[in-house]
Amino acid sequence: MSLNSKNKTLHKLLLSVLLILITSICCICFASAAVIDDATIPNLVLTPNYNNLKDNKPSSYSSLKSVSFSSDEPIDSIYIIFWDNAVGFTISSVDKSFVVENTFLHSFTTLPEEFADCKELTVTFNEKANISDVSAFKKGQLPDWVQTWNAPHEKADLLLNVTHFSNEHTFFAGIIPYHVANGYRTQVVFFTENTNSTKKHEMLDGLWSVGIKNYPVLSGFSESNTKTSADALKAFAKDKVTEDMLIAFQTENIRRFQPQVIVSHDLNGENGNGQYLLNAETLIKAIEYANDTLMYPESSAKYGVWNTPKLYLHLYTENQITLNLDETLDLFNGKTAFQVSQEGYKANKSQQNTWFTKWLNGNDNKNDSASKIETYSPCLFGLYRTTVGEDIQKNSLFENLISYDEQIRLEQEWLEQERLEQERLEQEEQMRLEEESKRLESLKLESIKEESRAAASEQKHLEEQKIQAQEQAESGKNKGILAIIVFTCSIAVLTVILIKKYK
């Protein structure tokens, strides 16, 4: 190879290396920009400064009574992950503080206005708490992994009543993302509660990923694996939980959330689980009791009674509908409701070795369609109870119903129409009054003119009469003078005649 060729080869190599370096620098810059745009405070100092408080692993935790934050930048919000039990806490800084009545394992708090320039603060827990992770943020876009939970709904369009953690992504796959994406207030209630803290965190991560932003309701009743509802009751009895307590729990949630639609388990217990079956059985009783003030009066006094318009049970064969859970959803970037639930299920990492995984995802994870699942199909639900008539289209849980938000919109629209109609009537009345005022003013002016004309006519008449009287008086005067002249002439003539006669 000639020297010239070697130089050309070396030149090309150097250019390639330079391009790689430039590309790498650009990537680093873009990554840095992304981090800068993130609201995370990079140099946050915690006291105590335990590594496990910043490792994003819920299972590594420290038992603390307080934790302090120090930052170079003003702190706008904090995020605390509790390992097992959520507790309330007080946030303080120098001479100010406020109390947070927290009940969430994943707890996000925005600081109030009086903390606007705060760079140091302390969180004091109401009791010693097992803390998994702690983060603080400045103002800006929060990272995707932060869960800003809201309290449970006051009123829910859809109450999804499931038994075990992850059921919402399996037997009911697609239900949550489909209805969240279509604007229905969706509230999840768990009939049992797994005491494994890892599974609680997985449950929250899964719900958040499928669009749930309102915290789920957990019963506190222990999870068990039984074959019949009678065996499930026996398992509950070991914890001194009675059927009456289960029905009371179901009744309270119905009254509390006033759902338009409740969805729950197959009356055969899905795959033959006694707790699934017991959940459905107690729910059916609770729906009737929820509308009776005499049944479970404590929740009746607190929330009132509620007559649920619709109850759907999974796989119930009467009045059955088929949901299309394979249509794409804009809210989830074009993924289908079923695909979103598959992702939600993945968040439940401890479940991945169960039969559910292959059933949901298919062999070799190749299934991405709800309609392809035949056994325990997540698309099939039967209308067990209705106060609004049977379904005709049979493709929607909300046939014959209007969502709460839509009701509010329609009411606001009606109120706006009423306001506009009232405004129109008031404008018309104002115009009528103005026209009437103009008419009366015109009449008044015309009356004044008429009176003026009458007065002028009267004045003219009086003047004419005066002139006539004057003329008559003048004429009379002239006639008197003439009479006197005539009389005087007559006397003079008579005098002349008499003088001539007697002369």
Nearest Cα to 184, choosing from 161, 208, 214? 214
Fold for domain 45-137? Answer: Jelly Rolls (2.60.120)
pLDDT, residue 25, reads 45
CB neighbour list of residue 147: distance below 8 Å, 6 or more residues apart: 106, 108, 204, 205, 208
Element (H, E) at 441: helix 404-502
Query: So where are the chain's domains?
Result: 45-137, 158-410
CB neighbour list of residue 101: distance below 8 Å, 6 or more residues apart: 88
* Ramachandran angles phi, psi of 381, nearest 5°: -140, 145
CB neighbour list of residue 234: distance below 8 Å, 6 or more residues apart: 226
Over its length of 503 residues, how does the chain's per-residue pLDDT go in tens digits? 554 554 555 555 555 544 555 555 444 444 444 444 589 998 899 999 999 999 999 999 999 999 999 999 999 999 999 999 999 999 999 989 999 999 999 999 999 999 999 999 999 999 999 999 999 999 999 999 999 999 999 999 999 999 999 999 999 999 999 999 999 999 999 999 999 999 999 999 999 999 999 999 999 999 999 999 999 999 999 999 999 999 999 999 999 999 999 999 999 999 999 999 999 999 999 999 999 999 999 999 999 999 999 999 999 999 999 999 999 999 999 999 999 999 999 999 999 999 999 999 998 889 999 999 999 999 999 999 999 999 999 999 999 999 999 999 999 999 999 999 999 999 999 999 999 999 999 999 888 988 888 888 888 888 888 888 787 777 777 676 777 777 777 787 777 787 777 76
pLDDT, residue 30, reads 41
The DSSP-derived string for 129-179 is: EEEEEEEEE-SSBPPTT---PBPPPSS-SEEEEESSTTGGGTTTTTHHHHH
Q: Tell me, what DSSP letter sits at residue 120?
A: E
Q: Does domain 158-410 have CATH number 3.40.50.2020?
A: no
User: Structure pTM?
Assistant: 0.80
pLDDT, residue 198, reads 97
Contact 220, 103 (CB under 8 A): no
Contact 321, 391 (CB under 8 A): yes
Nearest-angstrom CA–CA distance, 390 and 318: 11
Q: How many CB atoms lie within 10 A of CB 224?
A: 17
pLDDT, residue 481, reads 73
Nearest-angstrom CA–CA distance, 97 and 426: 51
Give Cα 161 to chain centroid, integer Å: 22
Write out the two tokens for 381. Answer: 């639900």
Write out the two tokens for 333. Answer: 């970037």
CB neighbour list of residue 368: distance below 8 Å, 6 or more residues apart: 336, 338, 339, 342
Nearest-angstrom CA–CA distance, 178 and 327: 9
Nearest Cα to 314, choosing from 157, 163, 156, 155? 163
pLDDT, residue 36, reads 45
Q: Tell me, what DSSP letter sits at residue 277?
A: H
Q: Name the H helices within 210-354.
A: 229-237, 243-257, 274-289, 297-303, 337-346
Beta partners for residue 100, in sequence order = 89
pLDDT, residue 164, reads 98
pLDDT, residue 13, reads 55
DSSP E strands, 20-76: 45-47, 62-70
Beta partners for residue 313, in sequence order = 264, 382
Nearest-angstrom CA–CA distance, 430 and 443: 19
pLDDT, residue 496, reads 76
pLDDT, residue 29, reads 42
Nearest-angstrom CA–CA distance, 497 and 243: 161
Contact 350, 202 (CB under 8 A): yes
pLDDT, residue 471, reads 78
Element (H, E) at 310: strand 310-314
Strand-pair category, 106-110 with 96-100: unpaired
259 burial level (CB within 10 Å; 0-12, 13-18, 19+)? buried
